[in-house]
Amino acid sequence: MLASSSLRSFSTAPPSSSSSESSSSSVHVERKNCFRRCRHLRNRTRFAAIKRENEREKRAAKDESETNTELCCVSFRRRSLASALASAFIMKSSPSFAGQVIDSMQKMLDETDELLKNPELSSEEKEGLEREKTFFEKQISRVQKNGEFVREQKERLSKTGNTDEAYYASGIRIAVKDVKSETQFWETAMGMRVTSINEKSGVVRLAYGRETLNEDDGGKASIEIHPLDSSLNNGANDSNNVVEKLKYIQCTVPFGIRVSRVYEAGGELLYGFGYFDLRSPNGVPVIASVAKRRDSLEAVCIESTNVDATTNAIRSASDNGLSIYDAQIPETKSEEDRKKLTSYVPPPPRGSKFLTALQYQKNKDGLRIDVFPDAATVRANMTFQEKVAEKAEQLRQKAFSSGSDEDDEEEASAGEDDDSQSNFAFLGLRAVSNANETKEVSNIGADKSNSWSLLVESLDAFEGRVKEQQQ
C-alpha cells in the first residue's frame, strides 16, 4: 500500500531534466523499433506477393498445355470469324449477289447459336460466343435496313419510261495537288476504303462500303480524287455577282476519329470539342462527328453569297431531279437547348438550304448538298441569341487552341487558308438517274467561273462501272 502510494506520488510529480531526457530517448528507441517492424512487415508482404505470383505463373504454365486443345478450337473460330467478316465487307474481284452479306452473317449467327448449346463450354468461351451473337444480330439488323434503302433507290431508278426524273447522289469529286497523301488521309484518318484506282488517269475513288445498288450492304457514296489541274478555278472570284466555294466535306463516323492517325496521315486538327474540324494534307476542309448513320459520307457544303441562286442553278442542272429544302435550325436559346442537340456540329446558319435526291424524311440516309450563306450575310442576319451562341463557340475554340495571341492566330489561319486553296479544287458531283444516257452538265453553280460539273450516269452504266472497278 505504501509502495503504491509512493508510486502514485512519483508519477504525478513534475519530471526532472534527467527523467525527461530518459523518456525522450525511450520514445526515440520505440519509434525506431516500430519503423523496423513496419519495414519488416512490408518486406514479408512483398515477398509473399512475389511468391504467390510465381506460383500462379507456374500453375498457368501447367494448365496451358492441358487447355491448349480447347483454346485452339476457340481461337480458330475467332480467326475464321475475322476472315469471314473481312470477306463480307471488303471489295472482292468476284461479283456478289443481293443478300450475300446477310446470308453469310446469318449463317455465322446460326453457327454461334449451335455452339452455345454445348454444355461443356467454359464461362469464358460462353461469354465470348454471347458477344459474337450480339454483334451478328446488330449487323444483320443494320444490313436489313440498308437493303430496304438500296432496293427502294434501285426501283426508282429502274423506271426509265417516266417523265419524272429520278436521281440518286452517288458521290463527290475533288482535285488535289498530291493524290497519294490525300488518299492516305481518307483511308487512315477517316476510315474509308479504296474502291478503284485508275493508273492511267491517276484517279482514286474511296467510299465507306459498296457503291453498287445490287447488294444489301451497298448504296454508299464515294469521293473521287483527281490530280489537280492548274487551270481549274476554285471559286471566290470577286468579279462575279455570285461567289461560291467549297466550305467543307462532312462525315459522320460511328467509331470516332483518332487524332494520332490524323497527324500520321499528314492532316491537321483545328478543333476537337464535340466534333472535329480537320484539314487534309492538301488543305481540304473536313468536318467529322461521331454518330451512327447509314452512310458515313454525309454532305458536301458550299458557301455562296447568294444561296437561292446557287441552289436553283444546281437543281436546274439536275433537270429538277434534286429537291431543295430549307435547313432546319434548332432553337438554342439556352444552354439546356444546346444539350438536347443530337450532334455537337454547329447548326446551319440562318438562310441555309440543302439539296437531296431523296424524300425529305429520308434525307439523312443519303448524300446531301448543303448551301450556306457567306460569313458577311450570316452576321447580318444573326439574332441576338445566335450572336451569343457564336461568341460561346468562339470561346470554346479559343480554349481548345494553344492560347496564343488572337490576332496572330487569325493572321496565321488566314494565310494557311489562302495557301491551301491552291492545293485543291472542288470538281462537282456524281449522280445516277433513270435516264437511258450518261451525260455531264458543266458549270452547275451560279458562279460560272467555277469548273464544277454534274456527271450523271444511267443505272446500267453506274452498275457496269462499279463492277469493272471490283474486277
Main-chain dihedrals φ then ψ at residue 207, nearest 5 degrees = -155, 170
Cell numbers at residue 161, please? 419510261
- pLDDT interval class at 392 (50, 70, 90): confident
Per-residue model confidence as pLDDT tens digits over 145-185: 898 999 999 998 888 665 567 889 999 999 999 999 999 99
Average pLDDT over residues 253-267: 87
Domain borders along the chain are 28-59, 73-88+96-158, 167-470
Q: Kindly give the pairing relationship between strand 244-253 and strand 285-290.
A: parallel
Q: What is the pLDDT of residue 26?
A: 62
Per-residue model confidence as pLDDT tens digits over 178-207: 999 999 999 999 999 999 998 889 999 999
Within 10 angstroms of residue 440's Cβ, the number of other Cβ atoms is: 12
CA dihedral 434, 248, 272, 183 (to 10 degrees): 70
Pairwise CA distance, residues 268 & 394, whole Å: 19
234 pLDDT more than 60? no
Average pLDDT over residues 447-471: 86
Per-residue model confidence as pLDDT tens digits over 350-372: 889 999 888 766 667 789 999 99
* pLDDT greater at residue 136 or residue 26: 136
User: What homologous superfamily is domain 167-470 in, according to CATH?
Assistant: 2,3-Dihydroxybiphenyl 1,2-Dioxygenase, domain 1 (3.10.180.10)
Q: What is the pLDDT of residue 116?
A: 87
168 closest CA partner among 108, 221, 128: 221
Average pLDDT over residues 428-442: 90
339 pLDDT more than 60? no
Mean pLDDT check: name the lowest of 94-103, 109-118, 315-324, 346-355. Answer: 94-103
Mean pLDDT check: name the lowest of 86-90, 119-123, 395-399. Answer: 86-90
Rounded mean pLDDT of the chain?
A: 76
Question: Who contacts 222 (Cβ-Cβ below 8 Å, separation ≥6)?
Answer: 170, 171, 172, 195, 205, 206, 207, 211, 297, 430
Within 10 angstroms of residue 46's Cβ, the number of other Cβ atoms is: 10
Per-residue model confidence as pLDDT tens digits over 269-316: 998 888 899 999 999 999 998 888 889 999 999 999 999 999 999 999
- pLDDT interval class at 331 (50, 70, 90): low
